[in-house]
Structure 1
Amino acid sequence: MSRNPDWPEGVARHVLASVDSTLTEAARRAPHLAGPAWILAHEQTAARGRRGRAWSMPKGNFAATLVMRPTERPEQVALRSFVAALALDDAFAAASGRPQSFALKWPNDVLLNGGKVAGILLESAGQGGAVSHLAIGIGINLVAAPGADQVEPGALRPVSLLSETGAMVTPEEFLDLLAPAYAAREAQFRTYGFEPIRTAWLARAARLGERIVARTTSESHEGTFETVDAAGNLVLNTAQGRRAIPAAEVFF
């Protein structure tokens, strides 16, 4: 447990020098959980991002996974990507004192001065329509950002918290901000459902009301980013009409 007085009650805190991936470690620990647990690693030897991509992790950057055993239906469980994004936004504001510098990019990135500073990856396991465990993996460029050659063409430039704001924060210090922020947003989600989370997320959304491109594995949609609906889908107003997109890569 953390000695931080603000650390959420009943949430475990594991800090590891090195691990293959905090998401993989979360899956290993999940069957034995007494309650939610944060797993932070100072080094990952096999980190991964969305769609199985490698995730670059220079020394001093943040890699942690929150693992829990939720009770809701899978489609509700998946909405925690928005809960996590808001908690990250809260923690960044506390760490930097610059809340206006951050924005949230659908479905699961945090932007700082228009560049990508953090990413979220959800992984879950279960059967028969139930989720046995959920792991929320979070990677943050605290002190260093990968080079442009390490991201796909058209992707946003990676930035670091240090280079953009001058805030020098260690991974453990950031976890002590993020864990209470997540606990507060989680309590809101459990008590009031997705609607207040959706409203708060949209208030921080990048490029809301502007033209964006959403690419799925099979097609590309261009249109005005209208909203995120009650199921977490991206809603675009396109030349072919209004479209709700459940999963895609977004390009500006």
Structure 2
Amino acid sequence: MSAWPKGYGLRLLETVDSTLNEAARMAPGLTGPVWILAREQTAARGRRGRAWVMPRGNLAATLVMRMTEPPEVAALRSFVTALALFDACAAVSGRSEAFALKWPNDVLLNGGKLAGILLESAGTARAPGHLAIGIGVNLADAPPAELVEPGAVRPVSLLSETGTAITPDDFLPYLAAAYAVRDAQFTTYGFAPIRSAWLDRAARLGETITARTGAQSTTGRFETVDAQGNLVLVTPTGRTAIAAADVYF
């Protein structure tokens, strides 16, 4: 098991409505970053307010920290977290070649969705805010395919795809240690090396994909992720940078 990283706290919960909600409740008293792990969530959520199916045995965790940087910089921690998840999954399974990263915030395993990341922030110009990074990983089980929207990547679990059996309590130290390493790299050297490492692991780079935001869809060749974390597509009308969207293959 990986050693717990220095400087990071840990809060273990048997049941909670959402680890993201718990992060917001803890935020006023934070003195340093804290990982929150729940064995059961009763009101888990994903991007755009979607429900997140979280069978017991899967990882439901949130890293909460004080906001010490502009929101546009803090948002890049989704890439830091994705790389840490990739590193942790490769470490516990021994199969790095099976994993890939899907913009903006998913980890894929054998082409299926293994994990998702959701960032939430709060605060005002007068009061220091906090950043919460919610993470869900299908360690033991995956939700039925009929529960995901049409065209979405099929859900998979680490156990079913690799035969790796690991509990959330045992997986979290790997993730926390990997995050600490990637975060130190980000803090010291900026986004450039994180961006490069992320692109090395990107799913469908160079291929045609579709990015949807509400009723608007943009289809083009996935060229890169730019220095601001935007998805860059080459379309018939030119290069387009997209700040937020759902990506479909």
TM-score tier, shorter chain, comes to over 0.9
CA distance in 1, matches of 2:50, 2:81: 20
Residue of structure 1 aligned with 2:142, choices 139, 142, 145? 145
| AA partner of residue 155 (structure 2) | P
CA distance in 2, matches of 1:129, 1:245: 30
Unaligned segments of structure 2, at least 5 residues: none
Distance apart, 1:91 and its partner CA: 0.1
Residue of structure 2 aligned with 1:100, choices 97, 101, 104? 97
Q: Are 2:58 and 2:138, in contact at CA under 8 Å, matched by a contact in 1?
A: yes
Q: For residue 26 of structure 2, what is the aligned residue in structure 1?
A: 29
Q: Are 2:2 and 2:177, in contact at CA under 8 Å, matched by a contact in 1?
A: no
CA distance in 2, matches of 1:124, 1:158: 27
1:127 match: secondary structure: coil
CA distance in 2, matches of 1:110, 1:46: 22
Identity among equivalent pairs (%): 70
| AA partner of residue 51 (structure 1) | R
Name which of structure 1's ranges 8-17 and 113-122 shifts more when overlaid on structure 2.
Answer: 8-17
Q: Are 2:11 and 2:35, in contact at CA under 8 Å, matched by a contact in 1?
A: yes
CA distance in 1, matches of 2:101, 2:109: 9
2:129 match: secondary structure: strand
CA distance in 2, matches of 1:172, 1:102: 22
Q: Are 1:74 and 1:130, in contact at CA under 8 Å, matched by a contact in 2?
A: no
CA deviations 1:31-77 (Å, max 9, x no partner) are: 10110000000000000000000000111011000000131111000
CA distance in 2, matches of 1:86, 1:10: 20
1:172 match: secondary structure: helix
Q: For residue 55 of structure 2, what is the aligned residue in structure 1?
A: 58
CA deviations 1:211-236 (Å, max 9, x no partner) are: 00000113100000000000000000
Q: For residue 6 of structure 1, what is the aligned residue in structure 2?
A: 3
Equivalence map 1:1-252=2 (5 Å) = 6-128=3-125, 132-252=129-249
Q: Are 1:143 and 1:160, in contact at CA under 8 Å, matched by a contact in 2?
A: yes
Q: Are 2:2 and 2:173, in contact at CA under 8 Å, matched by a contact in 1?
A: no
CA distance in 2, matches of 1:5, 1:211: 38
Q: Are 1:18 and 1:43, in contact at CA under 8 Å, matched by a contact in 2?
A: yes
Distance apart, 1:182 and its partner CA: 0.2
Distance apart, 1:131 and its partner CA: 6.0
Unaligned segments of structure 1, at least 5 residues: none
Q: Are 1:73 and 1:131, in contact at CA under 8 Å, matched by a contact in 2?
A: no
| AA partner of residue 63 (structure 1) | A
CA distance in 1, matches of 2:247, 2:227: 19
2:123 match: secondary structure: strand
2:160 match: secondary structure: helix
